[in-house]
Amino acid sequence: MPRLALTLLGAVALLAGCRHESVVPEPVTDYFPVVVGTYRTYAVADSTWANARVTVSNYQLRERVAEQFTDAAGQPAYRVVRSRRLTSADGWRDDSTLVVQALHRAVVLTRNNIRTVELVYPAQANKSWNRTAFTVTTGNTSYPDTITNLTRTYGPAVGTPYTTPAAPGAPAKTYPATVLTKDILPIGAEDINGRDQRGTRQVYALGVGRVLRRRFSFQTFTTASNGLETPTIDVQNGVSRYEVLIDSGTI
């Protein structure tokens, strides 16, 4: 056999060997495990303030991983069904459907046809990213540059203990290793000052998933008839939602 042919055969064999020896890393989903048949149940408290008077609505939400499928891009994805009930004595009623993709470097969630990057890996203290990096401009909604527009960040520590507050149906619970995320507003990670408070916080526990979500937007000042604003220690107007994990398992 000619020397050139032998050389080419050797190169092909070498490339084939490298291809078989390459290792594709598994997705890192420690803080957002997704397994078909598992569920998480949350106690939810929706609060609304009007003229310093608050109204609270309590109910439960369950997120159940219903199935795994292949999306249009050929990537694995999971269908998550959200259900709602008033108390543990009531039956579940399906509320909406989410799609979760556990990628190697991120966890992507699709809700109402909007894709958001919930977590990025590896989790690092104070690391920020664009939660709408996979969302394009649609209609009158424009999403800024995906590199410089940082809209979610990890907290100042990773892998630290966190205790969720007591909620209807469950006592307070401590998780030994967690990460905190906050949404970044134009003014900073959260807008908390003498007159307004706005923000979104989520806590994920290692091997468990999301154990808490808090969204709040309210005012802490009163307005006199002449327009003069006076700061107070109490919420005057606004809304907030607390979601606390109270149960998880396999159906």
- What averages of pLDDT result for each successive group of 10 residues across the chain (251 residues)? 42 39 53 96 96 94 97 93 96 97 93 93 94 68 63 94 93 97 73 73 96 91 71 85 96 89
| CA angle at 34 for the pair 199 and 89, rounded to the nearest 5° | 75
Rounded Cα gap, residues 114 and 137, in angstroms: 11
208-238 per-position pLDDT tens digit:
999 999 999 888 877 776 667 777 778 889 9
Rounded Cα gap, residues 46 and 60, in angstroms: 11
- The encoded tokens of residue 112 equal 């109402």
52-78 per-position pLDDT tens digit:
899 999 999 999 999 999 998 899 999
Q: What is the pLDDT of residue 222?
A: 74
pTM, to two decimals? 0.81
Length of the chain counted residue by residue: 251
Sorted by sequence, the CB contacts under 8 Å of residue 165 that are 6+ apart come out as: 172, 242, 244
